[in-house]
Amino acid sequence: MAAHAETAQETAKRRMALRKLHKKLARQIPDGEDVAHLNITAMMDMMTIILVFFLKSFSTQSTNVNISPELGLPRSTTQIQPHQAVTLTVTSNAIMVEEVEVASVKRGRVDASIKRDGENGFFINPVFETLDKHKARLQKLEELSGGGQPFRGEISVICDKRTPFRLLTEVLYTAGQAEFDKYRLLVLTKGDEK
């Protein structure tokens, strides 16, 4: 019992010594200095980052279209904003993908020699090949971004208002075969008119 009492006394002495040491060390730690001025460099960096984030979030969704004399867009009262997508343009003289001519148009038709199934076919070979290259590029971009920029198969079709329905159908069919099956037809709204 005496041995047990000594151990308890020693433990109490050690605790007391540790408390005194703790108080002594706490007194040696200097108090914080008063802030005489405010360093705003870090705050400005933070505000710049937030500003860039907001500007990116509120970016407009307009699509720049170079309207040539042989391209007359139909008019509309729609309020839907266009999305960023591969642009396919059908003028009275050519079919263009991303402003690069891929097939010529004469009197509202493409030459039967560039169609897979001849005169009555819907599949336009050079349009498919070009869109297929764009699909591969967008799928590679999706892979590199880890799914951050997924390939959605979206295409913006800019078509002359005098384009025959048959030619438009051939273009949309060919785009669908290249897995661009979601399309938007771009039109002029009243605010776009000059």
The chain-wide mean pLDDT, for the chain, equals 78
pLDDT of residue 60: 45
- Judging by DSSP bridges, how do beta strands 154-159 and 86-90 pair with one another? parallel
* Residue 6 pLDDT exceeds 70: no
Chain segment 135-154, per-residue pLDDT in tens: 888 888 888 877 777 888 88
Residues 41-66 as b/e (b if ≥16 CB within 10 A, e otherwise) read: eeeeeeeeeeeeeeeeeeeeeeeebe
Give the pLDDT score at 126.
92
pLDDT digits (tens, 9 = 90+) for 80-103: 555 567 888 888 888 988 888 889
Check residue 63 and give its pLDDT: 53
Residue ranges of alpha helices (H) inside the chain are 2-28, 41-57, 125-144, 165-177
> What is the mean predicted confidence (pLDDT) over 155-172?
86
Q: What pLDDT does residue 128 have?
A: 92
What pLDDT shows up at residue 83? 53
Give the C-alpha distances (Å, rounded to integers) separating 107 from 22, 96, 111, 120, 125: 95, 16, 10, 16, 19
Is the pTM higher than 0.85? The answer reads: no
**Alpha-carbon dihedral sign for residues 161, 162, 165, 169:** negative
pLDDT of res. 129: 92
